Every structure is written in structure tokens, then in C-alpha cells.
Amino acid sequence: MAVSFFLTSFILSIMALSVSLNFRVAKFLNLSLAGIFASGAYMAYFSGNPAIPVFSGFLLGYLLAFYILRICRSVIEATIASLGLGLLIERVLEIVHRSSYYYIVNSDLSTMIIPLGLAMFLGLLSIYISPLGLRLKYVESDVELAEMYGVDTERYITLTVAATSSVVMLSGYFYAGALAIGPAIGFGYLISGIIVSAIAAQLSFRGVWHYSAVFVLSMLMTRVLEVLV
């Protein structure tokens, strides 16, 4: 029971940190993360190579960021584009995998969620106390002002969307052994992550303190949000 609670806490923290990063740096609510998570779970069933979700997630995130930066002109347009990608992924999974659910019975990598969640959080802390973190703070605060200071905002936005998509797909890959794998399995985690991120935003913290608040709230609110996942 305790192990299950911690696994859910770290899955929630990964999703909430990803939602927060996308919204604060890339300036949109990334609703494709549910489909990306589900894709990672399917990859765990059909492949034993974790490099596949890492690179596949990065590529999907890169393509989404490229589309948003070139085509979308507002937060709403970018959010709708991410929703479209998420629904497209879910629909493709439904068409390709006609079985209602898949179960992984010969291996369970779900405990890898804990070091993955810790690595993501500690990685963010190390980034935000480095010179790179200062430029990220500029992008978070004001994209136009950051560009005036010579920051390559498109690069930071693209890397943020691509990296979080990669981590979320890898989390789906690792957690698949604890789930009945279906196209919509990521939806509850995404909604929970959005709730945690929204509550953390009300605390008005910035930079590393905001992401620390997201991480802590994910742990504290797991029991409440378990009904969604």
C-alpha cells in the first residue's frame, strides 16, 4: 500500500512539474501529455528498450513546439493544438491496438518512477541555480523582454516542451507494469497534474521555489487526487 502511494505521488509530481514547465516557459497548457504518457505505456508492452520512449517523446515534443512557435498566435491556440495532438495519439492507439486493455505480467519497472521523479526535480533545482536558470527565469517572466536581453527564447521553449514530453513518455513506460494499459490511461494523471500546478501557482512563488512547491504539493495531495487516477 505504501509503495503504491509513493509511486502515485511521483507520477503525479512528474506530470505536475511538466505541466508547470510548459505553462510557465512555453506559455501554454500542454494537453498532449496524457496521450504521450499512454504511448509510453504501450511501448513498454511491445518493446523492452527504454531509449525508444525517450527519443520518441522528445521528437513528439519537438514537433509540437515547432508547430506552436510557427503557427499558433495565442495561449488558446497553442493549448488547442496540444489537445489535438493528444486526441490524435489516443485515436491512433485505439485503431492500432483493438484489444481493450493490455497487461504486462513478466516484468514490472514501476519502482523506477521514484528515481525518475527525483532526477527530474533535482535536475530542475540544479538548472535554476546555474546561469542557465537565470535565462529560464527571463523567459518565464516575459518572453519579449528576454529576447531584448539576447535570450534565444525559441530554443528554451522547444527544449522545455521536448524534454518534458520525453520524461512523461518514459514515466508511462516505467509505470505500465502497474496499469491496465489503454489509450486513455494518462488522462487522470494529467488532470491531477493540472490541479496541483494551478494550486502551486496561487502561492506566487517563482523559479526554483515554485517547482519545489509543485513537488511538495504532489506528495501532499496524492491521497485526495487518487480518485482521478
Cα→Cα distances 54→4, 44, 143, 166, 188, Å: 24, 12, 28, 5, 22
Q: What is the CATH number of the domain that holds 113?
A: 1.10.3470.10
Query: At residue 1, does pLDDT exceed 80?
Result: no
Model pTM score? 0.92
Tens digits of residue pLDDT in 94-147: 888 776 677 776 777 888 999 999 999 999 989 888 888 888 888 988 888 888
Cα→Cα distances 157→27, 43, 105, 141, 164, Å: 9, 26, 38, 13, 11
Domains held by the chain: number:
1
Q: What is the DSSP string of 58-94?
A: HHHHHHHHHHHHHH--SHHHHHHHHHHHHHHHHHHHH
What domain range includes position 125?
A: 2-228
Tens digits of residue pLDDT in 172-196: 999 988 888 888 899 999 999 999 9
Tens digits of residue pLDDT in 7-36: 889 999 999 999 999 999 999 999 999 999
**Pair 183, 170: CB distance under 8 Å:** no
